[in-house]
Structure 1
C-alpha cells in the first residue's frame, strides 16, 4: 500500500508539473496574440512597482492617495528632466572631443597600413567597406530589436498606455486587483491574492535591485573613465546604469562601448585599463553586491537569463528583452510555491494593498 501511495503521489506531482507546462505554453501563446496590449500592461505594473512604495509612504504620513500619486509622479518627471539637462551638454562636449580623437585615430591607422605595405587606395577601400558593414549591421540590428512592433505608432501608443496604466496602478491598483480577484471562485481567491503578491514583490525587488547595482557599476566605471580622462565619461556611466536592466548582455555591451571609446581617444593601454576596471567592478558586483540586494528570489543561473532574454527579444523586441528576467524570476517564485522573503521591517503582504509594496488605495 505504501508503494502504491508513493507511486500515486509521484504520478500526481508529474501530472501537476505537466499541467503547469501546458498552462505556461497557452499563456505564452495568448500573450503573443495580444502582445500590443499585454506588453504595455506589464510595463505599467513594472513601473508601478517603483512608484507604489513612495506613494504608500506618503499616504502613511497622512497624505491622501491622489495627492501622493501626483507628488510621486511629478517628482519622477522632474528628476528625468533634470537628468536630461545635465547629460546633454556633457554629451555634446564629449562627442566633440571624441570626433577629434577619431580623426587622429584614422591618421594612425593609415600610417600603420602604409608600414605593412597597404597603399592609400586600398586603405580607403577597406575603410569604405567597414563603414558600409557597420551601416548594414546597424539597420539589421535595429530591425531585429523592433521585432513584434509593426509601426512607430504602436511604440508611441504602447508607451503612453504603459504610463497611464502605471499612474492608475499607483493610485488604485489595489482596488482593481481586488475587483479582478472577486470575479474568481471563492476557493481560488486566496491563491490568486498570494500569487499576485509574489509577482508584484519580485517585480519591485528586481527593479530596485537593478537600479542600485547599476548605479554602483555606473558610478565606479564613470569615475575610472573620468580619472583616465576618457571622453563621454558621464554618458557612458549612465549607459552602464541603463545596461544593468538587461542582465549580462547590457553590462557586456556597456563595457565594450567604454573600451572602444577609450581605445579611440587614448590608445590601447588606456582601453586595457578600462576593460580591467570594468571586469573587476562587475566581478565584485556579481559575487558580493548583487546577491545581497537581489536575494534568492532573483537568483537565476546565467544560462537561464540569457535564454530568457533571447526569447523575450524574439517575441516582443526591446520591451520583451527588458521584461524577460523579472518575468522568469516571478514564474520561478510561483513554481516554488512559497512567499517571497519579507522586506526589511515588515512581513510579506497577503494582498497587493497591504504593505508599501502595494498600489496605493484611493
Structure 2
C-alpha cells in the first residue's frame, strides 16, 4: 500500500508558493510600472553619467534629463492635439466630397466601392456619447497617474543608482557577483542601444514626414511629423498610425495628394525596414523577424499597447540572458565545484582483470624431437 508522507516544510512551501503567485497577480500593475521605469532608467543612464562626468552633481543631472524629456513630451502634446482636433473637424465636414473623389479614383483602376453614401451615414454624435466621454476621462486620468509614477520612479533609480545596486547585490553570493555584473552590463547595453536606435529612427521618419507634407502642401506638417516620430516607437502598427492621419488630411486637398502621401510613406517604411534599421541597430537586437512578430503579438495580447512597446526590449534582453547562459554553461554551478571536462567519462572505468602470476603458470610442453627413419 502506498504511504504518502507530507512534512510541515512541504506544506509551508506549497502555501508560500500559492501566496507568492497570488501576490504577483495582484501587484502586477505596480510591477509593470517598476519594469517600465527600470527600462527607461537603463536607457537614460548614459546621459546622466555623461553630465556627472562633466562636473554636474548627480541630483541636478537627473533633474536636467527628466525636465528635457518632459519638455519634449509637453511640446509634442501641444502640437499634436490641436492639429488632430482641427483635422477631425475638417474630415467631418468634407468627408462626403472626399469620399466621392476617392471613389472615382478607385473606379479608374477597376475597384467599385460606394464610399460617398457610407460617409453620409456616419453617426458622428454616437462616436462621443456621454458614457464614452466618462470612460475616456477615466482612462486619461489613470494614464496620467501612471505616467507621473513612472517619471518619479525613473528619477529615483537614476539618482540612487549605487544604493539600489548595493541593495540587490546583498542577495547575490559573493562568488556570483562578477557574473551578475557582467550579465547586467550586457542587458543594459542591449536595452540602451535599442532605445538610442529607436530615437534615431523616430527623428528620421519625423524629418521625412515634415519634408514630404511641406512639399505636397498638406496642412499641419509639423504636427503630423511629430505624430509619425512617436508612432514609429510602436512595432508593426506604428507605420499605419503614422500614415493614416496625414493621408486623411491630404485627402481634403485632393485624392492625388492622398495617393502621393500613401506611396511615399510606404516607400519610406521599406527603406527604414531594409536599410536604416539594420545599420542603426547593428547587432544590438539580433532578433529574427519571426521572433519580433511573436513577441509583439504576445505583448499585445497580454498588456495591450504597453506590451507592444515593451516587447522588443524585453525580447532582446531575454536573448542576451539566454546567450550568456549558453556561453557560460561550463562554469561550476556550486561554489568550489569543478567543471567536468568534455572528454572525461561520467563514471570510473572498470578495472581490467588481473593476469595470472608467472610463477603459477603451467609451463608449455615442448614438441617431441623427430625420430630418425631406418634405412630400408
Determine if the TM-score, normalized by the shorter chain, exceeds 0.5: yes
Q: Pick from 61, 64, 85 the counterpart of residue 68 of structure 1.
A: 61
Q: Pick from 215, 219, 226 the counterpart of residue 227 of structure 1.
A: 215
Give the secondary structure class of the aligned counterpart of 1:296.
coil
1:69-111 CA distances to partner (integer Å, 9 max, x unpaired)?
22222333334444445x26xx646754674465344146569
Give the secondary structure class of the aligned counterpart of 2:172.
coil
Which position in structure 2 is the counterpart of 1:106? 96
Alpha-carbon contact 1:45-1:166 (below 8 Å) kept = yes
Q: Structure 1 residues 239-248 or 264-273, which shifts more?
A: 264-273
Q: Pick from 156, 165, 171 the counterpart of residue 177 of structure 1.
A: 165
Q: Greater relative contact order (Cα 8 A, min sep 6): structure 1 or 2? A: 1
Greater helix fraction, Structure 1 or Structure 2: 1
Give the secondary structure class of the aligned counterpart of 1:321.
helix
Give the secondary structure class of the aligned counterpart of 2:252.
helix
Residues 1:228 and 1:123: Cα distance change in structure 2 (over 3 Å): closer
Alpha-carbon contact 1:47-1:166 (below 8 Å) kept = yes
Q: Structure 1 residues 69-78 or 233-242, which shifts more?
A: 69-78
Which position in structure 2 is the counterpart of 1:37? 30
Which position in structure 1 is the counterpart of 2:333? none
Q: Structure 1 residues 207-216 or 195-204, which shifts more?
A: 195-204
Whether 1:167 aligns to 2:155 is yes
The separation in 2 between residues aligned to 1:296 and 1:40, in whole angstroms, is 28
Q: What's the offset of the Cα at 1:226?
A: 1.4
Q: Pick from 179, 183, 186 the counterpart of residue 198 of structure 1.
A: 186
Whether 1:51 aligns to 2:51 is no
Q: Structure 1 residues 74-83 or 211-220, which shifts more?
A: 74-83
Residues 1:64 and 1:318: Cα distance change in structure 2 (over 3 Å): same
Whether 1:332 aligns to 2:319 is yes
Unaligned runs of 5+ in 2: 1-19, 108-113, 327-376
Whether 1:269 aligns to 2:252 is no
Give the secondary structure class of the aligned counterpart of 1:184.
coil
Residues 1:249 and 1:182: Cα distance change in structure 2 (over 3 Å): same
The separation in 2 between residues aligned to 1:164 and 1:127, in whole angstroms, is 46
Give the secondary structure class of the aligned counterpart of 1:234.
helix
TM-score, with length taken from structure 2:
0.66
The separation in 1 between residues aligned to 2:28 and 2:147, in whole angstroms, is 13
Q: Pick from 269, 272, 276 the counterpart of residue 289 of structure 1.
A: 276
Which position in structure 2 is the counterpart of 1:311? 298
The separation in 2 between residues aligned to 1:93 and 1:49, in whole angstroms, is 33
Unaligned runs of 5+ in 1: 1-26, 117-121, 340-362
Which position in structure 2 is the counterpart of 1:212? 200
Residues 1:191 and 1:151: Cα distance change in structure 2 (over 3 Å): farther
